[in-house]
Structures are given as structure tokens and as C-alpha cells.
Structure 1
Amino acid sequence: MNKRSFLKNLAVTGIAASTPFRSISEILAPYQHLAPEELASEDAFWNQIREGYRLKPDYINLENGYYCFLPQDTLEQYIQHIREINYQGSYYMRTVQWENRAKNASRLADFFGARPEELAITRNTTESLDLIIAGFPWQKGDEAIMAKQDYGSMLNMFTLVARRHGIVNKIISVPNHPTSDEEIIKLYEAAITPKTKLIMVSHMINITGQILPIKKICQMAHRHGVEVMVDGAHAIAHFKFRIDELECDYYGSSLHKWLSVPLGAGLLYVNKDKINKIEPLLAPYELDLGTIGNLSHSGTHPVATDLAISNALDFYEKIGVERKEARLRYLQRYWSDAVRNVPGIQMNTPEAPKRSCAIANVGIKGMDPSVMAKTLMEKYKIFTVAIDGANVRGCRITPNVYTTTNELNVFIEALKQMAKV
């Protein structure tokens, strides 16, 4: 069997093909005339989308930010990929695994705004950004800038690099309620010196959901000759943007979050002019490739996850990029607007609509975040995650498209009751 025939057979058995989502098309048909912002509040539509997920009835899940589990359509196709690869065994691994991986990387690049040669599939955001931090051509005395609100693992990686290479890490603090983009930009700019080589900035701060003005920060940094690495763990498939329009040098994200790819998939973007600047962390099969493949080698890995990326993109595309973003924004504002000015409740996410989407953080004044999370789960059967650090005290709340307003009503009432204690 030659390679072309094998690829054709994959399409027949389901590895390279995707199941058409007729059910979603049928659900959507009566609502096609509605703009995304109008559809966002149509619970009758979104409750039908919810039926495509298998959800535990034990509690209300408002912690979708760590891992957005798969809709049944994607899950079944993923299982089929596993079965088929197990059936083909080494033959698949030695023939078309890399070609299929490249096709999925190319589709990600096209969907989220990059050249195919600038984007690689990794295992998660942490791996993507660690590859840049570890491979950057540091010299003793070089400086890097980051925020205390950035993800802990990334801050720790910069600490390791400081120990290894003698660089200096300058840590700023991003306000929870900035008055303007310029206030944020000036914080990063004020930390720049002639020794600054790299800024790490979160596209969306993971503990509060605040969206930062990435393009403006990148433009400012480049005027000073400083490169920018963006932590986009929560941004891909959450709200609409193009990576190449941000003007950043490096970008990493996790696909198991808002794109709902199986665990073990992320992406790394490197501007084509910077690819050869970064030293690979792990040696590829062929040294000095001169491509992004030089940076993203991980050895034998679960290739079924690579294939499921395309299925997840199909599902996302079928729901609609603008529709999903509008629904996520609606859900967050549905509950946050209801409690924002309630005595005893502290919102830790900016009120301006452009500065957030699905994720927000809320605290109860005088209550430890761990106690708050425990009370929500044990008394009200609402699952969240406690955040206590980097000037943020509260619980991170992350609904998804399958979250109902009735569930949020339970959460709103729980917050109001807890604030009275």
C-alpha cells in the first residue's frame, strides 16, 4: 500500500475525516437571522448545545478554565482515532503521522492567524513558553520583565534561567481595575532598561480574566528594541483575534482549554525571523533544521490528540467564532453585573466589557478564598477554584457554552447569601 492510498483509507475509517455536525446545523437553523449578540441570550438555543455534552449532575461546574472537556461529537471521533491508530500500529507511526501533524498545525495557523511555518503543535502552554524561555540566547546581566499575576510555572522558569545564566527578572504588578490601556503599557515601559531583552505578558490573566492590550504593549516594546512573548493559554478559541495582528514575537497557548481538544495539545508561534534565534531544548531527529520543527520535538507522543485538533476546530467553527465569544461574554456579565455592587462582594475583574470575556474573579470580603471555594462546593454544590495571591483574593469563575443561566442564578444567590454572613 503506497502513502497516497493509505491516506485515502484513513479518510474512509475516520482518521483524516470529520463527521459533519448535522445536529448543530439543525439547532442553529431557526436562529440564523440573529446576530451573535442577540443569540447570546437565547437560552433555548444554548440549552440544545448543552445536550451535546455529557455533564456530571453532582455539581455546577464553574471551573472550565483549567480544562474544557470535549463535546460528545469530538470525544467519539477522538476515540475512533485511538482505535484506528492502534489498528495501524507502527505502520501509521512510520508513514503519515508527521504529515497529518503538519496538516493540523497548518489548519491551526490558518484559523488563528499565522504562517504554517511559524506554528507548531506542542503539549500545552507551559511547554510552548518554556521552549522560548530556556532557548533564548541569554547573557549574564540580561533582563526580563513579567508580572506577578503571570502563571506561576512561567515565573518559576524565569527563576531557573536566572540561576543558570545570571539574568535579572523584573516583576511588575498589573492592577485589577486599570483606568486605561496606557496605565498598563506605562507599567511595562517603566521597567525597561538598555539591558532588557524579553517581556512576558499574559493575553488574558489566568487568575482574573483581564485581557491586556497586547498589540500596544508589543509596539511599545519594539520601539525599545525588546521582544515580547505572550502567554495566550486562555485566549485561543475564547475570543476572536489573529496572532499575526498582535505583532508579538512568540505566542503559546493550550488547546485543551477553550478549543476543547483532548488533553496534551498546545501551540507555539514563533515569528519566522526569530526561529533560528532560539536554541532547541530537545534535540530533533535532524539537527539544524532551520524551521520551527527544530524547537518542538517531543519524541513519540499520543498522535490521536493531534488528529482530534481538526475535529475540535470543526465543532468550534460550526457553533461560530463570534457566537461563542458573545455567549461567553454574556454569561460572565450575567452573573458579575448582578453582584458587582452588592455590599460584601469584591469583583477582581475589570468592569469594562473589552477587558474580559468568560473568566472573572470574585471574592467575599473578610472570607479566605479557600473557605469561599469550600463553602460554594459543600453548601451550594458549585465547583470553583480559590485564588489567593498576586493582589487577588477570591474564586475564579469560568462558565462555558454549556453553562445555563439557571445555574448562574444559583451562583448569584449563593454569593449574596455568603456576603451576609
Structure 2
Amino acid sequence: MNKRAFLKSLAFTSLASSASFKALSKTVEAYAHIPASELASDEDFWEKIRAGYRLKPDYINLENGYYCFIPQETLEAYIAWIREINYQGSWYFRTVQWENKDKTAARLANLFGGTPDEIAITRNATESLDTIISGYPWGKGDEAIFAHQDYGSIQNMFELVSRRYGVVNKIVDVPLHPKSDEEIVKAYEDAITPKTKLIMVSHMINITGQILPVKKICSMAKRYGVEVMLDGAHCIAHFDFKIDELGCDYYACSLHKWLSVPLGAGLLYVKKDKISKIWPLMAPYELDHPNIKNLNHTGTHPVATDLAINNAIDYYEKIGSKRKEERLRYLQFYWSDKVRDIPGIMVNTPSDHERSCGIANVGISGMDPGEMAKILMNKYKIYTVGINYAGVVGCRITPNIYTTPTELDVLVKALQEMAKSI
């Protein structure tokens, strides 16, 4: 089989050609006339979307933040890719593997921002962030800034470069309920000195769901000649933005979260003029690539996952970025607005609709978050995760587009009863 014929054969397994995807397309087309803000609460539409997921009946899953499992349309396409790669074997790896990966990276760039030679497909956000932190040209006494609320293992990578190179880490606090963007920007600005080289900022704080004013932080840092790396693990395909419009130098995301790609896919953006300064985490197949490929070699890897990114994008584009964002924000505020003013309940996420989307965190006064999560699961059949970290005490609640208000009513009732019991 020649290369062109093989690429055509792959097209037959694409998501867009499947019967289920055609049915999804008809559903979306039937509601296309309804604005995204109104469709967010149209349960007839979202019930049809829910039907495309295989959901466990044992509990209500409100822990989609760790891993947004994939809809059946994407899952079947992914399985087909695995079968096809297994059928083609080494032939695939030695012929069209890199061409297909480049096309997928280009599609990610077109959809989420940046140019194709600034976007690399990694295994997850952690790998993407660690690539930059470990490969940065640190010198003894250089300073890095990040927040107590940032992801723990990434803070540990900064600790490792501190031990290795003598980097000084300065840790700031992000307020749970900021009065203004400027309050957050100031927290980072006050930590800058002439020795500051890199600031890491969570685009969305993973434990609370707070969206930070990263554009303003990047603009501020630029005035001081300081580079910014954004941890966007939860952001791509969660709410709408373009990476290259944020003003950052580096961006990382896990595609297995809100884009609902099979496990093993992440994204790394490096601004074109910064690529050459980062030392590769692992040696590339060919040294000194002029583009981001210099930072993106991990050896033989599950290429079926790379191919399935396209199917996840097909699904995401069919649903529509604004429809999805509006649905996720609607679901979060549906439950959080009902419990914010109840005595004994603490919502650890800002009430301003622009400062969060689908994720929020809620605690019960005097109750350990681990115990809270256990009660929610054992008594109310709600699965979530307890968090007691960096001043955040509560359970992270992460619905997905298939979640129903009826399920969130169960959560609201549970929180009300738990608050009364303390």
C-alpha cells in the first residue's frame, strides 16, 4: 500500500464518517438557531448529548477535572485507530507517523492559537511544564515566582531546579475571592526583582476553578523583562480563548481533560523566539531542530492517541466552543449560587461569572474535606475529591456537559443537610 492509499484508508475510520457522529450532527443542527447562552439550560438538547456517553449508574460523577472520559463516538474511533496501527505495524511508524502528528499539531494551533511550529503534542500538562522548567537556562541566584495554589508536582520541579542550579523560588498567594484583577496582578508584581527570570501562573487554579487575569499578568511581566509560563491544564476546550493572544511565552495543557482526548495527550506552546533557549528534557531524534520538535521527542509512543486528537476535535467543534463553555458555566453556577449564602457552607470560588467556568470548590465549616468527600459518596452517591491545600478546604466539584441539573440538585440537598449536621 502506498502512502496516499494508506492516508485514504485512515479516513474511513474518522469520527466524521461514523453513523453516531452523523446523528450528533443532526441534533446540533436542529438547535443551531438557539443562542449558546439560552441553549445552556435547554435540557432536551443536553439529554441528547448525554446519550452519547456511557455513564456508570453507581454514582453521580462530579470529578471530571482529573479526567474527562470520552464520549462513545470518540471512543469507537480511538479503538479503530488502535486496530489500524496494530495492522500497519512498523510501516506506519516509518512512513506517515510524523506527517500525521504534524497535521494534528497544526489543527490544534489553528483552533487554540499559535503557529504549527510553536505547538507540540506531549503526554500531559505536567510533561509540558517540566520541559520548560527543567530546560530553562537557569543561573545561580536566578529567581522564579509561582503561587501556593499551583499544582504540587510542578512546584516540586521548581524545587528540583533550585537544588540543582541554586534558583531562588518566591511563592505568592492568590486570594480566593479577589476584589479586582489588579489585586492578583499586584501579588505577582510585588515578588519581582531584577533577578526574576520566569513566572508561572495557573490560567485556571485547579483546586478552585478560579480563572486568573493572565493577559494582565503577562503584560505586567513584560514591562520588567520577565517571561511567563501558563499552566492551562484545565483550560483548553473548557472556555474560549487563543493562546497566542494571552501574551505568554509558554503554555501547557492536558488534552485528556476538557478536550476529552484519550489518556496520554497534552499540549505545549512555546513562542517561536523562545524555542532555542530551552534545553530538551529528552534528546531529540535529530539534534538542533529549528522548531519545537527539538523539545518533543519521547521515543516510540502510542500514536493512536495522537490520531484520536482529531476525533476529539471533531466532536468539540460539532458541539461548539461557546455552547460548551456556556453549558459548563451554567452548571457550576446552577448549584453554587444555591448554596453560597447558606450558613456553614463555604464556596471557595469567586461568584463573578468571568472568574470561573465549570469548576468550583465547596466546603462545610468544621468538616475535613476527606470526610466530606466520603460522606458525599457513601450517603449521597456523589463522587468528588476532597482538597485541603494552600488555604483551600473543601471538595472540588467538576461536572461535565452530560451532567444534569437534577444530579446537581442531589448535591445541593446533600450540602444543605451536611451543613445542618455540623
Secondary structure of the residue that 2:386 maps to in structure 1? strand
Over 3 Å counting, the alpha-carbon distance change for 1:336 and 1:16 in structure 2 is: closer
**Counterpart in 2 of 1:128?**
128
**Counterpart in 1 of 2:198?**
198
**Counterpart in 2 of 1:365?**
365
Report deviation, 1:117. 0.6
CA distance in 2, matches of 1:307, 1:316: 15
AA of the residue aligned to 2:38: E
Secondary structure of the residue that 1:274 maps to in structure 2? helix
CA distance in 2, matches of 1:335, 1:137: 46
Map residues 19-168 of structure 1 onto 2, 5 A cutoff.
Answer: 19=18, 21-168=21-168
Kindly report structure 1 stretches of 4+ aligned residues shifted beyond 6 Å. Answer: none
AA of the residue aligned to 2:18: T
Secondary structure of the residue that 1:386 maps to in structure 2? strand
Report deviation, 1:31. 2.0
* Number of corresponding residues: 420
**Counterpart in 1 of 2:313?**
313
Would the aligned equivalents of 1:11 and 1:17 in 2 still touch at CA under 8 Å? no
Report deviation, 1:18. 5.2
Structure 1, unpaired ranges of 5+: none
CA distance in 2, matches of 1:245, 1:19: 35
**Counterpart in 2 of 1:406?**
406
Report deviation, 1:7. 1.9
Would the aligned equivalents of 2:265 and 2:306 in 1 still touch at CA under 8 Å? yes
Report deviation, 1:17. 7.0
CA distance in 2, matches of 1:199, 1:290: 25
| Structure 1 residues 318-354: Cα deviation after superposition (integer angstroms, max 9, x where no partner) | 0111000000000000000000000110010000000
AA of the residue aligned to 1:19: S
CA distance in 2, matches of 1:135, 1:31: 48
Map residues 247-326 of structure 1 onto 2, 5 A cutoff.
Answer: 247-326=247-326
AA of the residue aligned to 1:154: I
CA distance in 2, matches of 1:16, 1:241: 25
CA distance in 2, matches of 1:153, 1:183: 26
AA of the residue aligned to 1:118: E
CA distance in 2, matches of 1:79, 1:8: 18
AA of the residue aligned to 1:213: P
TM-score by length of 2: 0.98
**Counterpart in 1 of 2:4?**
4
| Structure 1 residues 91-134: Cα deviation after superposition (integer angstroms, max 9, x where no partner) | 11111111111110110000001100100000000000000000
Would the aligned equivalents of 1:185 and 1:216 in 2 still touch at CA under 8 Å? yes
| Structure 1 residues 365-413: Cα deviation after superposition (integer angstroms, max 9, x where no partner) | 0100001000000000000000001010000000000000100000000
Over 3 Å counting, the alpha-carbon distance change for 1:42 and 1:16 in structure 2 is: closer
CA distance in 2, matches of 1:368, 1:25: 45
Report deviation, 1:26. 2.1
**Counterpart in 1 of 2:415?**
415
**Counterpart in 2 of 1:328?**
328
CA distance in 2, matches of 1:141, 1:288: 28
Structure 2, unpaired ranges of 5+: none
CA distance in 2, matches of 1:30, 1:226: 49
Would the aligned equivalents of 2:145 and 2:172 in 1 still touch at CA under 8 Å? yes
Would the aligned equivalents of 2:228 and 2:249 in 1 still touch at CA under 8 Å? yes
CA distance in 2, matches of 1:15, 1:72: 13
Would the aligned equivalents of 1:15 and 1:307 in 2 still touch at CA under 8 Å? no
Report deviation, 1:10. 2.4
The answer to whether residue 179 in structure 2 is matched with residue 182 in structure 1 is no
CA distance in 2, matches of 1:399, 1:373: 15
Would the aligned equivalents of 1:10 and 1:17 in 2 still touch at CA under 8 Å? no
Would the aligned equivalents of 2:16 and 2:22 in 1 still touch at CA under 8 Å? no
Would the aligned equivalents of 1:176 and 1:349 in 2 still touch at CA under 8 Å? yes
CA distance in 2, matches of 1:302, 1:69: 18
CA distance in 2, matches of 1:257, 1:341: 31
Report deviation, 1:24. 1.6
CA distance in 1, matches of 2:356, 2:227: 25
Superposition CA RMSD, Å: 1.1
Secondary structure of the residue that 1:139 maps to in structure 2? coil
CA distance in 1, matches of 2:236, 2:244: 13
Would the aligned equivalents of 2:288 and 2:294 in 1 still touch at CA under 8 Å? yes
Would the aligned equivalents of 2:63 and 2:398 in 1 still touch at CA under 8 Å? yes
Report deviation, 1:289. 1.1
CA distance in 2, matches of 1:79, 1:134: 35
Report deviation, 1:34. 1.1
Report deviation, 1:25. 2.2
Secondary structure of the residue that 2:145 maps to in structure 1? strand
CA distance in 2, matches of 1:3, 1:382: 49
CA distance in 2, matches of 1:25, 1:291: 37
CA distance in 2, matches of 1:18, 1:63: 31
Would the aligned equivalents of 2:28 and 2:318 in 1 still touch at CA under 8 Å? no
Would the aligned equivalents of 2:15 and 2:311 in 1 still touch at CA under 8 Å? no
CA distance in 2, matches of 1:18, 1:305: 19
Report deviation, 1:28. 2.4
Report deviation, 1:2. 2.9
Report deviation, 1:233. 0.1
CA distance in 2, matches of 1:164, 1:78: 41
CA distance in 2, matches of 1:26, 1:343: 46
Would the aligned equivalents of 1:10 and 1:16 in 2 still touch at CA under 8 Å? no
Secondary structure of the residue that 2:272 maps to in structure 1? coil
CA distance in 2, matches of 1:330, 1:16: 28
